[in-house]
Each structure stands twice: as structure tokens, then as C-alpha cells.
């Protein structure tokens, strides 16, 4: 892991974010007033770091971030982690560069173009013969540099001998694994696969600056501020949207860029899109990637914070469970009340239907009884009428018989 530094944003102080004792330190920034800031984990909030510097370089050692810096007077300062104090280091430098994964090794150039090397913060500066205006370092300690005549040199560590590399460059970039990229005064791009390999011209465009990382990601800017990307030597350039003047590539393929209005943007590799980050920056510098620094005291605080967070989460969980149980009980009571009300309503409806049926049946029975009574009365009336008729007929027959008898007697009497 390594780190990218971004220079140039003024913002209010905040507390450094942390994870289990490790501080994520992706981006540092320096304002136009040389104040220092760090970009928080959320990628939008800037955190103030005390001090004033004009440039810096970083190195990861024992999972801790070591920062080397230079102020406007070319004084040298060093700190081991963002929470430590700056320590003044004797000497004057105009350029400083830490070796990636170099166990604390750092190189520098002073205003007279003299070269210096230091094994770590506790050692002393060692003068290295030669004169350079710029240098870059591989992970294995090989240094590449440019002098004021744009000549290219390389040396295998501070005790080696400078070797002249054919060619002339205005821009030189070296990846941690030793791939070399450069731009000459004609804005042509060249690539070297490693020490001892020949230069190969990279076709497809002219550029004024470029940046790369250890994973073949190369971003370049031309004189019109257009941005292009390629993955390694054999893939062609791809034009990306936007206009920028400076950029920096991280080890995870994220790239930060600044436009002419000093606005800051970020994207992830070729397939990402530019997203603006609040703030205005002047410059970009640094290494590749992300690093962390560890503090035992902070770790203890983190453990307590984590325990407090777990306790709060457990309390919230219990409160949520209690609220859910209460809600479930209330829902059950409501449902039970609804069921009881429905049962009572059904019972009342059934009782009403039963009463109506009984009333209907009673009415039917009463109607049948009345009909039967009427029929019985009718039958009785008819029987009485028949009987009266029979008696009248019998009486009439008797009277007729009597009359006939009297008529016969009268007739017999008359005959006699």
C-alpha cells in the first residue's frame, strides 16, 4: 500500500476518522497558504493537520505512515503518522522523494542540484555525487533522474555509480516495479520496460505530462488539457472527457485531476466517470495507493468506541424487539377484538335469523291451525245443513205420507 498527496484546499478542522486503531490516509492536501489537510474516508470532508509545507512525500513503514516534507524556506520536516508532531531535520532541500517500501529510505535534491540520501529519519544525510533537477525511485532502490540538460541517469542505490541512459526527457516517471515512462521536449512519449531495456516510442499523441502507477495505468495530458488513458505500452490511447492540468494515479486505478479553475475531480480507471470533490487545489504529488498508520492508544479508544457502538446497537436491537413485541401484542389484541366482535355479530345475526325462522314457523302453524279450524267449522256447518235438509225431507215425507194416508182414508170413507 502507498499514498497519494493532493495539494491545495482550505477547509475547517475535523477529527481524523479511524478503524480499529488504523487511520486511513489516502490523500493529503496543501493550501495556497501552505496549510495541510487530509481527505476523510468519505472522500468529501477535509481534516486539518498542523503545520505549513510546500511539498511532501510518504512512505509506509510497519503499517505506519511516515511523511517527509519541505516548507517554503526549504527546511525539512518529518512525522511518523498524522497524529505525531513534526520533527525538524537538519539540511535544506528543494525536492524530496521517499522510496516505495524502502524501510525509511529517502532521497533529496537541494537548490544547487546536489543529491542527498538518508537511510531513515534517525540517520544522517549522505551526499551522492552528481547533479539532478528531478528523481524517481523504484521499490528495489534503483533511482532514475533528470539533470538540467534533460539528460537521463540511473543508479542502483546510494553506493552505486550513475549510468547515463541515452535520450533526453522533460518528464520522467518510474513505476514501483521499474517501468519507465517519459516525455521529451517535442512532447513525444517514450517507454522502457525496465533497466537495460531500449526506449520505445509510444505512438498516438503528444503530451505535456503523464502519471502512472504500478499496474500499467497511464494517464496523460496534452497541450490542450485533454486527458488520455492507456493500459501499458501495447494498448492505444483512449480520450477521456474533461479538461485538466494536473493529475495523480493511485494503485487501485483511481485518478485525481485538477482543471484550470483548480476544481478537483476523481474517477476510477478507464470505465469510471469524473466526480467532483469539493475544494480548490493547486497541485498534486505523491505515491500510489492507500496506507494506514497504527496507534495503540487509538486502538484502545477504538475498541471502547466499538464496544459502546455494540452496546448501543444491542440496546437499539432490544428496544426494537420490545417495540416489535408490543406492536405484535397490540396487533394480536386488535385481531382478537376484531374476531370477538365478528363472532358476537355472527351470533346476533344467527339469533336474529333463528327468531325470524321461529316467528315464520309459528305464523305458518297458526295459519294452518286457523285454516284447519275454518275447515272444521265449514264441515260442521255443511253437516248441520245436510242434517237439517235430511230432517226437513223426512218431515216433508212424513207429512206427505200422512197426507196420503188422510187422503186415502178420506177416499175410503167417501167410497163407503
| Pairing between β-strand 22-24 and β-strand 4-7 as defined by DSSP bridges | unpaired
Q: How far is it, in rounded angstroms, from Cα 210 to Cα 181? A: 8
**pLDDT (average), residues 152-176:** 96
Strands 126-131 and 134-137: unpaired
- What pLDDT is stored for residue 11 in this prediction? 36
Give the number of other Cβ atoms within 10 Å of residue 58's Cβ. 21
pLDDT level of residue 42 (50, 70, 90 thresholds): low
More confident residue, 34 or 133: 133
Q: Write the pLDDT tens digit of every residue in 74-84.
A: 999 999 877 78
Measure the CA–CA gap between 344 and 335, rounded to whole angstroms.
14
Residue 300's CB is within 10 A of a number of other CB atoms, namely 11
Which carries the bigger pLDDT value, residue 122 or residue 48?
122
- The predicted pLDDT at position 295 comes to 39
pLDDT at 168 over 80: yes
Query: Residue 38: which of 340, 284, 47 has the closest Cα?
Result: 47
Helices and strands (DSSP H and E) totals, the chain: 1, 31
Q: For the segment 375-403, what is each residue's pLDDT rounded down to a tens digit?
A: 999 999 989 899 888 888 888 888 888 88
Percent of the chain having pLDDT more than 70?
86
Predicted local distance difference test score (pLDDT) of residue 289: 39
Cα–Cα dist 414/396, whole Å: 26
Contact (CB, 8 A) for 56 and 68? yes
More confident residue, 286 or 381: 381
Non-local CB neighbours of 227 within 8 Å, separated by 6+ positions? 219, 220, 221, 239, 240, 241, 242, 243, 244, 247, 257
pLDDT digits over 291-309, tens only? Answer: 333 334 444 554 666 678 7
Find cell 503499517 and name the residue. Answer: 63
The 10 Å Cβ neighbour count of residue 159 is 9
Q: Say if CB 244 and CB 258 are below 8 A apart.
A: yes
pLDDT of the residue at 126 = 97
Q: How long is the chain?
A: 416
Share of the chain above pLDDT 90, in %: 53
pLDDT tens digits, 188-233: 999 999 999 999 999 999 999 999 887 788 999 999 999 999 988 8
DSSP string of 132-188, one letter each residue: -SEEEE-TTSEEEEE-TT-EEEEEESTTS--EEEEEE-SEEEE-TTS-EEEE-TT--
Q: What is the pLDDT of residues 312-340, one digit of tens each?
A: 889 999 999 999 999 999 999 999 999 99
Computed over every residue of the chain, the mean pLDDT equals 85
Amino acid at each position: 500500500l502507498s499514498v497519494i498527496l493532493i495539494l491545495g484546499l482550505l477547509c475547517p478542522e475535523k477529527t481524523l476518522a479511524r478503524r480499529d486503531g488504523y487511520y486511513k490516509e489516502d490523500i493529503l492536501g496543501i493550501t495556497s497558504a501552505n496549510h495541510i489537510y487530509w481527505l476523510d474516508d468519505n472522500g468529501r470532508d477535509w481534516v486539518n493537520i498542523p503545520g505549513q509545507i510546500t511539498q511532501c512525500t510518504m512512505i509506509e513503514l510497519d503499517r505506519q505512515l511516515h511523511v517527509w516534507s519541505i516548507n517554503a524556506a526549504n527546511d525539512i520536516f518529518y512525522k511518523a503518522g498524522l497524529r505525531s508532531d513534526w520533527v525538524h531535520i537538519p539540511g535544506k532541500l528543494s525536492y524530496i522523494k521517499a522510496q516505495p517500501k524502502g524501510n525509511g529510505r529517502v532521497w533529496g535534491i537541494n537548490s544547487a542540484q546536489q543529491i542527498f540520501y538518508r537511510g531513515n529519519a534517525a540517520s544522517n544525510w549522505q551526499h551522492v555525487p552528481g547533479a539532478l533537477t528531478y528523481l524517481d525511485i523504484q521499490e528495489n532502490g534503483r533511482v532514475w533522474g533528470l539533470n538540467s540538460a534533460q539528460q537521463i541517469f540511473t543508479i542502483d542505490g546510494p553506493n552505486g555509480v550513475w549510468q547515463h541512459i541515452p535520450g533526453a526527457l522533460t518528464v520522467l516517471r518510474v513505476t514501483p516495479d521499474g517501468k519507465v515512462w517519459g516525455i521529451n521536449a517535442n512532447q513525444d512519449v517514450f517507454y522502457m520496460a525496465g533497466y537495460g531495456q531500449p526506449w520505445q516510442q509510444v505512438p498516438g499523441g503528444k503530451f505535456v505530462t503523464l502519471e502512472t502507477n504500478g499496474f500499467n495505468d497511464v494517464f496523460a495530458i496534452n497541450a490542450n488539457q485533454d486527458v488520455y488513458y492507456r493500459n501499458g505500452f501495447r494498448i492505444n490511447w483512449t480520450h477521456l472527457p474533461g479538461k485538466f492540468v494536473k493529475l495523480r494515479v493511485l494503485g487501485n486505478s483511481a485518478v485525481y485531476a485538477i482543471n484550470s479553475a483548480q476544481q478537483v475531480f476523481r474517477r476510477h480507471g478507464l470505465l469510471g466517470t469524473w466526480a467532483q470533490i469539493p475544494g480548490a487545489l493547486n497541485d498534486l504529488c505523491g505515491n500510489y495507493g492507500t496506507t494506514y498508520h497504527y496507534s495503540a492508544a487509538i486502538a484502545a479508544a477504538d475498541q471502547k468506541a466499538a464496544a459502546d457502538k455494540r452496546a448501543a446497537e444491542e440496546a437499539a436491537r432490544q428496544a426494537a424487539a420490545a417495540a416489535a413485541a408490543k406492536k405484535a401484542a397490540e396487533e394480536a389484541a386488535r385481531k382478537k377484538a376484531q374476531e370477538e366482535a365478528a363472532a358476537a355479530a355472527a351470533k346476533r345475526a344467527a339469533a336474529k335469523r333463528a327468531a325470524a325462522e321461529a316467528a315464520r314457523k309459528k305464523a305458518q302453524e297458526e295459519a294452518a291451525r286457523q285454516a284447519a279450524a275454518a275447515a272444521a267449522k265449514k264441515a260442521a256447518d255443511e253437516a248441520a245443513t245436510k242434517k237439517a235438509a235430511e230432517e226437513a225431507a223426512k218431515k216433508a215425507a212424513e207429512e206427505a205420507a200422512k197426507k196420503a194416508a188422510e187422503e186415502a182414508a178420506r177416499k175410503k170413507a167417501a167410497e163407503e
